[in-house]
């Protein structure tokens, strides 16, 4: 176990496979190059994105490793990782579906769409299907309000003007796509956010 509140003394082991390591290193070098040399800690958010893209979620081992690369103590990394909703602190389904439930989407029926997803997938918001293929959540406004209801898949893919039928089609399509493999690490113990 890596202590959170102190700087690690020795080198922190990498959570990546050799192939993943090469991808991470290339992305990391590019991210750090965007900032003045003495400001490299600014690259924490992009580095966490990189790690999550490779592992599917952010286990503590990844937070500690990213911190060690930027000389940021694990507690500080955790503070950042837990603050932002795009960072997933526990494994998700291989396809993570988030339905926007802010005001414009709500006015256009997002709550019905969420209920439809729940019955279609047989899970509630915040849960993962038994086969690990899907998880479901709610998103805050995605800037797709005029194309409501808006849906976000796996953090980056937008599906807009959604209806129950279009949702069914999308779910069918995702069923046969491999999606994000969730790396096997012990789950973060306390995954609570401020709210």
Partner 1 sequence: MAERIKILSKDWDKPNSWSLETYLASGGYQSLPKALKMQPQAIVDEVVKSNLRGRGGAGFPTGMKWNFVRKETMTPKYLVINADEGEPATFKDRAILEWSPHMFIEGLIIGCFALDCHLTYVYCRGEFRDGPIARCQQAIDEARAKGYIGKNILGSGFDLDIHVVSGAGAYICGEETALLESLEGRKGYPRLKPPFPANAGGGLWKSPTAVNNVETLANMPAIIEKGGEWFSSVGCAKNGGTRLFAVSGHVKKPGVYEAPMGITFLDLLNDYCGGMREGSTLKAIIPGGSSAAVMTAEEAVWASDFDTLKAKKTMAGSGGVVYLDQNTNMAHALANVMRFYAHESCGQCTPCREGTGWLSKLLDKIVSGKGEKQDIDNVHQISRQMEQKTICALADGAAMPAKSFIEKFRADFDALVKG
Residue 136 forms beta bridges with which residues? 97
Output 38-47 pairs: Cβ under 8 A, ≥24 positions apart: 40/70, 41/70, 41/71, 41/72, 43/70, 44/70, 44/72, 44/77, 44/80, 45/80, 45/84
Contact 118, 124 (CB under 8 A): yes
Q: What is the CA radius of gyration of the chain?
A: 18
Q: Can residue 41 be called a binding residue for partner 1 (CB under 8 A)? A: yes
Q: Which is nearer to ligand FES, 128 or 139 (CB)?
A: 139
Interface with partner 1, residue 115, by CB under 8 A: no
Q: Are 16 and 75 in contact (CB under 8 A)?
A: no
CB-nearer residue toward partner 1: 17 or 193: 193
CB of 84 to ligand FES, least distance (A): 18
- Give the range of 40-48, 55-63, 96-104, 167-175 binding ligand FES by CB under 6 A: 96-104
The yes or no reply on residue 142 touching partner 1 (CB under 8 A) is: yes
| 46 counts as binding partner 1 under rule CB under 8 A | yes
**Strand ordering across the sheet containing 157-159:** 134-139, 95-100, 151-153, 157-159
Question: Cα–Cα distance between 86 and 92 in angstroms, integer?
Answer: 12
Q: CB of residue 83 vs partner 1: minimum separation in angstroms?
A: 4
Report the alpha-carbon distance of residue 84 to residue 70 in Å, rounded: 19
Output the smallest distance, CB 136 to ligand FES, in A.
16
105 binds ligand FES (CB under 6 A): yes
How many of the chain's residues bind ligand FES (CB under 6 A)?
12
Could you say which of ligand FES, partner 1, none residue 162 binds, taking C-beta under 5 to 8 angstroms by partner kind? none
Distance linking the first and last C-alpha atoms of the chain = 26
Span from 7-15, 37-45, 129-137, 162-170 in contact with partner 1 (CB under 8 A): 37-45
The residue ranges that bind ligand FES (CB under 6 A) are 100, 102-105, 141-145, 148, 150
């Amino acid at each position: 176990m890596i202590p959170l509140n102190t700087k690690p003394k020795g080198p922190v082991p990498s959570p990546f496979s050799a192939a993943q390591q090469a991808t991470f290193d290339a992305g990391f070098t590019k991210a750090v190059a965007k900032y003045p040399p003495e400001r490299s800690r600014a690259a924490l958010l992009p580095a966490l994105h990189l790690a999550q893209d490779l592992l599917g979620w952010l286990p503590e081992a990844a937070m500690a490793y990213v911190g060690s690369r930027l000389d940021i103590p694990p507690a500080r990394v955790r503070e950042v990782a837990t603050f932002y909703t795009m960072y997933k602190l526990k494994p998700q389904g291989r396809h993570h579906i988030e339905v926007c439930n802010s005001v414009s989407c709500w006015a256009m029926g997002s709550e019905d769409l969420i209920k439809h997803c729940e019955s279609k997938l047989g899970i509630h918001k915040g849960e993962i299907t038994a086969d690990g293929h899907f998880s479901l959540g709610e998103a805050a406004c995605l800037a797709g309000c005029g194309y409501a209801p808006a849906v976000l898949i796996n953090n980056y893919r937008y599906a807009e003007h959604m209806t129950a039928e279009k949702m069914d089609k999308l779910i069918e399509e995702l069923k046969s796509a491999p999606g994000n493999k969730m790396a096997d690490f012990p789950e973060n113990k306390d995954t609570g956010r401020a709210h």
